[in-house]
Each structure stands twice: as structure tokens, then as C-alpha cells.
Amino acid sequence: MRVPIIGGNWKMNKTINEAINTVEDLKTKLEGVEGVEIVIFPPFTALKMLQGLLQGSNIGLGAQNMYYEEKGAYTGEISPLMLQDVGCRYVILGHSERRGYFGETDELINKKLKTALSFEFTPVVCVGEKLEERKAGRATEIVEAQVRKCLQGIGPEEVKRVVIAYEPVWAIGTGETATPSQAGEMHRFIRKILKELYGEELANFIRIQYGGSVKPENIKGLMKEEDIDGALVGGASLNTESFAKIVKGSRRL
Ligand code: PGA
């Protein structure tokens, strides 16, 4: 019922030329692939160029971040209007690197989410605990607070479009993945919170991606978990071969 969604988060990588080469190769490798929603999140500078290249393909375009105001004196920020202008339909909000290095809070992410939804983006809202929080047995508590605060004031019609990415911070870029059962358990827990907030039907509709050192070797195991609806891929999305393998491996057969 839920179509898996695989996102390639390129982070602060690739010049425009590198981005063009990557996308041309990716289009060939993923041509005709169905049963999975595919999105890439290139750096801002490459978006305009890629908009044209991706037209008519099965790969969607997204941004890695967005401010919650439409325009104004916010030096260095990027607005929803600007992202719409370059053909973005998806946006990542509250990635752990934004939270960790740039001080983003759940309150800020909630504001961004409201704007993103009003502009009809598909927002990918990231949550996840740090290593010390998991070690202290506080992982579910932390994730629950993030989910509730980020979704504060979001109505049932809007929440349908939200994708949640569970990304344990200790698994991002470390090569250490949560095991399918560790991830599956947290995804079930997140869905339980969604049930409390929005009821059974909506909770079963919302997609929850896993993120953190996803590779071609571990995607199939992760996708066997019923509550894992795809992946947000960092490092392995920079290489077209591994990203294409992850996309293909994520289809529920
Ligand atoms: P990673 O990053 O796949 O390199 O661990 C995932 C992410 O940060 O979204």
C-alpha cells in the first residue's frame, strides 16, 4: 500500500558539472524503474540546471533545506518560492546536521514544515537520537518529543504529504547502520505516535524512511521490516551505481 521512497541526499557535494554527469548516468540506470518514488536532493547551485534534465524522468527534485519565510531580509537563506521556481517538489527539513551544526530546533523545523506544506512540497522531516541518548535508554523518548514537536499544529489533510525520516545520529556517515530490527522497532514506535495523533488510517498512510549508512548490501534487509518505507541515503547516493542498486533493492516484491 505505501509506495517506498528513496531519497539521495547529496549534502555539500558536487559542482554543477558533476551534478549533470551524475544525473545523466542515473537517468539511464533508473529508466523504467517502477514501484518506488525516487528523489534526489542536490546542492542549491545545481537545482536549476537539473530541473530541465529531470523533466519527464522518474526522478524527483528536492532541496536539502528551506527557510520558513517567503522573502525578505534573511541573508543566506533560501525561500520556498525560490525552490518552487527551480522545480523542487520535495524538501528535507531538520536533518541532524542542520540540528547539530546549525542549531535547528524542533520549533524552527515546525515553522518550516508549515510553510513547506502551504507551498505543497513533500517535506521529509528528520528525527533521530544521538549515541549517548540511545546508550542512556532515552532513544524513544527523544524521538517521540521530536515527532510531536515537529508535527505540532499540522492537520490531518496536510500530514498525509509528510515523510518522516528516522535517522539515528550515530548511524549517519559512520558506516554503522541500525540493524533492521532496531530500525523496525523505532519505526513501529513512530507509527504508534502517529496513530495517537491522527488515528489508525492516516498513520498507516504516512511513510517513514530510514536513514544512516544505507548501502546496497543492507537495503533489502531493512525493507523487510513492514514499517520501513524506504531510505534517505547520504554517502551511497553520490555514486550512481550504488544509488541505483539501493533504489532497485527497495521495491517491495
Ligand atoms: P549516510 O547519510 O547515508 O551517509 O549515513 C544519511 C543522511 O544523512 O541522510
The pLDDT profile of the chain, 253 residues, written as one tens digit per residue, is 899 999 999 999 999 999 999 999 999 999 999 999 999 999 999 999 999 999 999 999 999 999 999 999 999 999 999 999 999 999 999 999 999 999 999 999 999 999 999 999 999 999 999 999 999 999 999 999 999 999 999 999 999 999 999 999 999 988 888 899 999 999 999 999 999 999 999 999 999 999 999 999 999 999 999 999 999 999 999 999 999 999 999 998 6
Alpha carbon separation from 167 to 25, 116, 131, 210, 237 (Å, rounded): 27, 20, 12, 6, 15
Q: How far is CA 30 from the centre of its chain?
A: 19
Task: Give yes or no: 95 in active site.
Answer: yes
| Binding-site residues, ligand 1, Cβ < 6 A | 9, 167, 172-173, 211-214, 232-236
Nearest C-alpha to atom 7 of ligand 1 is from which residue?
Answer: 234
Nearest C-alpha to atom 6 of ligand 1 is from which residue?
Answer: 234
Alpha carbon separation from 20 to 42, 48, 61 (Å, rounded): 10, 11, 13
Q: Is 212 left (phi over 0), alpha (psi -120 to 50) or beta?
A: left
The catalytic position among 95, 104, 129, 225 is 95
Give per-residue pLDDT as tens, 174-215: 888 889 999 999 999 999 999 999 999 999 999 999 999 999
Q: What are phi and psi of 144, to 5 degrees?
A: -60, -45
- Determine the Cα–Cα distance for residues 205 and 227; give it in Å rounded to an integer: 11
How far is ligand 1, taken at its centre, from the CA of residue 149, in Å? 23
Residue 167 near residue 182 (C-beta atoms within 8 A): no
Beta strands in 47-205 (DSSP E): 59-63, 90-93, 122-127, 163-166
- Determine the Cα–Cα distance for residues 225 and 46; give it in Å rounded to an integer: 34
pLDDT for 176:
81
How many percent of the chain have pLDDT more than 70? 100
pLDDT for 59:
98
* Greatest alpha-carbon span in the chain: 49
- Reference 171, options 208, 142, 134, 202; nearest CA is 134
The catalytic position among 37, 129, 167, 225 is 167
Amino acid sitting at position 121: F
- Reference 163, options 208, 107, 229; nearest CA is 208
